[in-house]
Amino acid sequence: MSLNGNEFIRHFENYCPQWLAETGDPVGLHIGTLNKDLKRVLVTLDVRPEVVAEAIEKQVDLIIAKHPPIFRPVKRLETDDLQTRMYADLLKHNIAVFAAHTNMDIINDGLNDWFCELLEIKNTTYLTKTHTIPYKKLEVFVPVDDAPKMRQELGKAGAGKQGNYKNTSYSLVGNGRFTPTVGANPTIGEIDQEEIVQETKIEVIFPETIQANVIEAMLNAHPYEEPAYNVQLIENHVETYGLGRVGTLEKPLSLKEFTAIVKEKFDLDGLRLVAEDESKQIQRVAICGGSGEKFFRDALKKQADVYITGDVYYHTGHDMLTEGLAVIDPGHYIEQLCKPKLVEKFNQWKQENNWDIIFIESEINTNPFKFR
């Protein structure tokens, strides 16, 4: 089955919605259009000229990137500049670019969870709370025969997610009564004649951030001219999200031992360590991909023995030492783990939905640093 770009991104955003991104984070579509059929999708950490060349060579239609290609406003589009020429190359070859940045760090089963999985950090919770989202409930009445389609479309819109479960709903069968009047165009029944139809009442919950999408999906799937439905706030159900993760190792290790594990698991040539005593025993670990130094005091509040994050600033390193927190800085490029993990997830969706599409992991190493 061919796959339209808008349909793929709707599926992606049910998993990794833009509303989870931090304020001001330029996530979403940066270049091109999604209104086209997709045959090849490239997944990358960074959008660099060499990645664009790879995308052109591999004839991809869409690039999914962790880091937004236009993080700050572009003031000039001079193609003599390699960085800006790549934008022209992308447009010339009709390659769209879509970015998921901090929302991929925050979402459940996202980048920080994958780090924990790799390092065998268990019983995790978020490091720094970012969002508290109230939930709402939709009640809608449809003819019994239309209920399966309605539940399916509501699930596609993101309704019915509860923790590690999806497509949850409640149904109750009863009789619906109505009388079409002059001017009506009823799907069932005749003008001025009362109709009694066996209907299913479907109830689903959803975060209020996607209410517009859920209502749109419900109206599009409903056979009636005037659907009856109700939306109400669920006062006892909210969902919290946060950056980073904190969890525990199966058994205590010395900081020196654990640092060696981090280096091996992330296949690093080197890393930076902020610590006075490498023999210190650690078991509770905090981690935040990217540049998470500003959250180190949250790691202290969560009683972490060690904090893993990248791009630690010199003077912040002094503050960390003063506070007694051991910190492992493996660099920013460990986020490249998103490439194989997203391709794995996309291929699972491909199998579930019978998509005719190829997902490709970028082969370009975009790490600007080398260790000698």
Residues of the chain with pLDDT under 50: none
CATH topology of domain 3-103+336-361: 3.40.1390
CATH number for 106-129+242-334 (one of 3.30.460.80, 3.40.1390.30, 1.10.3720.10, 3.40.50.1010): it is: 3.40.1390.30
Asked if 106 contacts 20 with a C-beta cutoff of 8 angstroms, the reply is yes
Same fold? 3-103+336-361, 106-129+242-334: yes
CATH topology of domain 132-240: Alpha-Beta Plaits (3.30.70)
Q: What is the pLDDT of residue 163?
A: 76
Q: What is the pLDDT of residue 193?
A: 87
Cα distances (Å, whole numbers) of residue 234 to 137, 211, 330:
7, 13, 42
Q: What is the pLDDT of residue 298?
A: 98
Q: What is the pLDDT of residue 250?
A: 97
Q: Domains of the chain: which residue ranges?
A: 3-103+336-361, 106-129+242-334, 132-240
Mean of the per-residue pLDDT values of the chain: 94
Q: What is the pLDDT of residue 14?
A: 86
Cα separation, 249 vs 121, in Å, equals: 5
Beta-bridge partners for 24:
none
Residue type at 142 in one-letter notation: V
Q: What's the burial of 171, exposed, middle or buried (CB within 10 Å: 0-12/13-18/19+)?
A: middle
Tokens describing residue 64: 């999914």
- Rg of the chain in Å (alpha carbons): 25
Asked if 341 contacts 114 with a C-beta cutoff of 8 angstroms, the reply is yes
Q: Give the phi and the psi of residue 298 in degrees, each rounded to 5.
A: -65, -35
Beta-bridge partners for 203:
139, 170
Edge-first strand order for the sheet with 122-143 is 170-178, 195-207, 122-143, 229-254, 281-288, 306-309, 326-329, 272-274
Asked if 305 contacts 252 with a C-beta cutoff of 8 angstroms, the reply is no
